[in-house]
Homo-oligomer: A and B are copies of this chain.
């Protein structure tokens, strides 16, 4: 039986205006990503991308997290705060250009996960690593994030596999994970800098490789560009790399 084909039309009552709702952030993200450039375009793509979520008063009662450790993944609802910075609230475009379509094809904003949307609310499923209940304020340690440092968090919900996991869902222009696009090599200097930081950032090398492999450049720059050198702000570092065709080389890891 195809429910969809037989779907019942529910006669709409006339609603023309609804009240606005105001939400106070319940937490803030402290992330390895200090700027938008090079953040993976979805969560889960780079496991080594970590963040902490610090609860904010008056929501920082440690009891709000009772039982959360029994869930391996969480939904984080957040505000795309950088997308609305210095922009009028009315800056709403009906169509956007998803990077997955090469940046030159447009789809409706509600058919995309673009940060430029009528209500700039983001939604990411992330891995819950551990809960620090003894920190100054209760703190969740997360992995596989695509969240900018300073992101305001509106809500945390447990991931429920039996509801949320729909492996046979048809997913339009993004049917599968983006493929690795670049081979990543290192200069001796950069490699050594990474080694020197191993005690503090044991995953730094893998993090850098996995981020650059995805080729964070805007889609329209991927080809025929004169620019060949790039930088990203990761933790307190400025990571520099060069691209030549499908080869990338990490040049340096400098203080940010």
Interface contact A159-B166, CB-CB below 8 Å: yes
Stretch from A173-181, A217-225, A243-251 contacting the other chain: A173-181
CB<8 Å pairs between A and B, sample of 28: A4-B129, A4-B143, A5-B129, A7-B129, A7-B130, A7-B141, A10-B149, A15-B54, A15-B56, A15-B150, A17-B56, A21-B152, A21-B154, A22-B23, A23-B119, A58-B92, A64-B95, A66-B107, A68-B111, A71-B111, A71-B170, A77-B121, A119-B155, A158-B172, A160-B171, A160-B174, A163-B177, A164-B164
CB distance from A9 to the nearest CB of B (A): 7
Partner among B10, B16, B108, B141 whose Cβ is within 8 Å of the Cβ of A235: B10
Complex contacts, A168 vs chain B, CB 8 Å: 161
Whether A123 lies near B64 (C-beta < 8 A) is no
Instruction: List chain B residues, Cβ under 8 A from A191.
Output: none
Chain B residues near A63: list those with CB within 8 A: 94-95, 108
What distance in Å separates the Cβ of A235 from its nearest Cβ neighbour in chain B?
7
CA distance in complex: A156, B125 (Å): 16
Residues of B within 8 A of A44 (CB): 163, 166
- Place the interface of chain A in its size category: 35 or more
Contacts of A6 in B (CB 8 A): 202-203
**CB nearest to A42 among chain B residues:** B163
A113 B157 Cβ-Cβ under 8 A: yes
Cβ 8 A contact of A143, one of B7, B75, B154, B172: B7
What are the interface flags for A198-235 relative to B under an 8 Å C-beta threshold, 1 for contact and 0 otherwise?
A: 00111100100000000000000000000000000001
What are the residues of chain B within 8 A of A99 when measuring CB–CB? Answer: none
A48-90 interface bits toward B, Cβ cutoff 8 Å, 1 = contact, 0 = none: 1011101011110101111110111101010100000000000
Please list the 10 inter-chain residue pairs (A to B) with the smallest Cβ-Cβ separation, ordered nearest first: A70-B172, A4-B129, A66-B108, A67-B107, A72-B170, A63-B94, A68-B111, A67-B111, A110-B156, A23-B119
- Judged by a CB distance under 8 angstroms, whether A12 is at the interface is yes
- Are the CB atoms of A13 and B30 closer together than 8 Å? yes
A18 and B151 alpha carbons, distance in the complex (Å): 10
Tell me, in angstroms, the Cα distance from A206 to B3 when the chains sit together: 11
Are A92 and B59 in touch, CB under 8 angstroms? Answer: yes
Q: Is the CB of A64 within 8 A of B109?
A: yes
A24 at the binding interface (Cβ < 8 Å): yes
